[in-house]
């Protein structure tokens, strides 16, 4: 009987451990940590790139749903239970919002602009019912997304993207390359 109970406990904890290891934020964080960082000055149009730098706002900040923090992006996941047994959620709802912002490193500055961003950094608010992650101004972040270069001569004095300043860069998410972000702190 004791052996049977030990096997059941091992199976339950083993399954829980595997589910924890395979969770979406944990998978995203592993991908982000393994991706080679590209300096902003060396970004290539149409390529997938990983950049690391500090967040600077470009527009009015937004407020996160749960923690009510001013931020440039938030990712709130809400678990809806059936009310009878609180063992597993019936429905999981994810709300993601962001405003355009810049990431600055020692080689330049890139605009981050997408409809939403999947965050994997540490939650600012967490219970069994919800998890909320945010990106705030000044935070050091690692972002992976698709690069779009817009060659313009008119904006060269404003952004100092490269030594010549003749290119504006944007990182965005696409169906093939979704925008992923994690904090470096």
Name which residue leads in pLDDT, 105 or 81: 105
Residue 64 is assigned to a structural domain of this protein: yes
Q: What is the 3-state secondary structure (H, E, C) of 95-161?
A: EEEECCEEEEECCEEEEECCCCCEECCCCCEECCCEEEEEECCCCEEEEEEEEEEEECCCCHHHHCC
What is the pLDDT confidence band of residue 143, given thresholds at 50, 70 and 90? very high
In a domain, 123, yes or no: yes
105 against 23, higher pLDDT: 105
Question: pLDDT category, 153, cuts 50, 70, 90?
Answer: very low
% the chain with pLDDT above 70: 71
pLDDT above 70: residue 84: no
Q: Has residue 70 been placed in a domain?
A: yes
Average pLDDT over residues 94-109: 92
Show the domain range for 142. 36-183
| Domain assignment of residue 31, yes or no | no
Name the one residue in this structure whose structure tokens are 């925008």.
179
Flag whether 4 is in a domain: no
Tokens of 32: 């982000």
Label the pairing between strands 167-172 and 108-112. Answer: parallel
144 pLDDT above the threshold of 80: yes
Q: Which residue has the higher pLDDT, 16 or 56?
A: 56
- What distance in Å separates the CA atoms of residue 63 and residue 72, rounded to the nearest whole number? 8
Please check whether residue 20 lies inside any domain of the structure.
no
Task: Name the token pair of 84.
Answer: 């009878």
User: Average per-residue pLDDT in the chain?
Assistant: 79
Q: Which two tokens stand for residue 99?
A: 């405003």
Max distance between CA atoms of the chain, in angstroms, equals 78
Is 28 inside any structural domain? no
State the total domains in the chain.
1
Q: What is the DSSP string of 17-60?
A: HHHHHT-HHHHHHHHHHHSPB--GGG--TT-EEEEEEEEEESS-
Domain assignment of residue 90, yes or no = yes
**Distance of alpha carbon 1 from alpha carbon 49, whole angstroms:** 55
Least confident segment among 50-54, 60-64, 167-171: 167-171
């Amino acid at each position: 009987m004791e052996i049977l109970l030990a096997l059941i406990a091992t199976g339950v904890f083993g399954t829980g451990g595997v589910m924890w290891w395979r969770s979406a934020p944990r998978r995203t964080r592993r991908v982000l940590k393994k991706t080679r960082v590209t300096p902003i000055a060396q970004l290539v149009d149409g390529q997938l790139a990983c950049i690391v730098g500090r967040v600077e706002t470009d527009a009015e900040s937004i407020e996160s749903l749960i923690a009510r923090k001013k931020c440039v992006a938030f990712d709130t996941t809400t678990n809806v239970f059936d009310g009878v047994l609180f063992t597993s959620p019936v429905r999981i709802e994810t709300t993601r919002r962001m405003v355009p912002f810049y990431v600055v490193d020692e080689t330049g500055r890139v605009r981050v602009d997408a409809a939403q961003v999947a965050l994997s950094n540490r939650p600012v608010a967490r219970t069994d019912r919800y998890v909320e992650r945010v990106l705030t101004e000044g935070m050091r972040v690692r972002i992976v997304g698709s690069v779009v270069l817009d060659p313009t001569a008119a904006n060269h004095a404003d952004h100092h993207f490269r030594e010549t300043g003749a290119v504006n860069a944007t990182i965005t998410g696409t169906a093939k390359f979704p925008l992923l972000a994690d904090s470096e702190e």
